[in-house]
Amino acid sequence: MIDVMSATDMPHAADTPATPSRLRRIPSRLLAMAAAHADRLVTAGLAGADAHKWHYAVLAALHDDGPASQADLSRRTGIYRSDMVAVLNELEERGLLRRTVDPTDRRRNVISITGQGDQQLTRLDTLVTSLQDNLLAPLSTADREQLVDLLSQLIAHHTTAAGPH
């Protein structure tokens, strides 16, 4: 197996005229470079709104799928359970969610989004849409849809092939 540098190993994470053509055509390298750029763009954009990706993920999960336990939210969002507590604490301190004791199991809390949380999610949705438009600016609407479809296929294939995590 060839070990090609990841985007995080590359000082510029961009091709230059000096980049060998064979490197410019390695899909995994291109995906890593695009992902690194996307991550920087979204992280910086959300930071400007005093938020981060995990805030957005939790608010979206609560809004779209309803109240959940901490463990359920962890599964829905892919956020490690150990990190989830800090995220929930931050969002609760800001009044964006609330925790209530689960009446069927008093050992766990049910987390739900508040009205303020819905308003923040609306603001973040607008921001994330703008960030996606920035990221995908050179692509047509059809190309964007195709890219999402292709990436979804790759992820589905490798998630299924790897089995549950």
Contacts of 66 (CB under 8 A, 6+ apart): 112
pLDDT per position as a tens digit, 135-149: 999 999 999 999 999
> Any idea where the domains of the chain sit in the sequence?
45-125
Backbone angles phi, psi at 78, to 5 degrees: 80, 10
d(CA 93, CA 81): 19
Q: Do residues 16 and 33 lie in contact, with contact meaning Cβ atoms separated by under 8 Å?
A: no
Q: What is the pTM of this model?
A: 0.83
pLDDT per position as a tens digit, 88-137: 999 999 999 999 998 888 888 999 999 999 999 999 999 999 999 999 99
> Over the range 48-77, which residues count as b (16 or more CB within 10 Å of their CB) and which as e?
eeebebbbbbbbbbbeeeebbebebbbebb
Residue 23, token pair as written in the block:
């490197």
Task: Assess whether pLDDT exceeds 60 at residue 68.
Answer: yes
First-last CA distance in the chain: 24
- CA angle 97/100/101 to nearest 5° reads 155
- For domain 45-125, give its CATH number from 3.40.50.300, 1.10.10.10, 1.10.3720.10, 3.20.20.140: 1.10.10.10
pLDDT at 19: 87
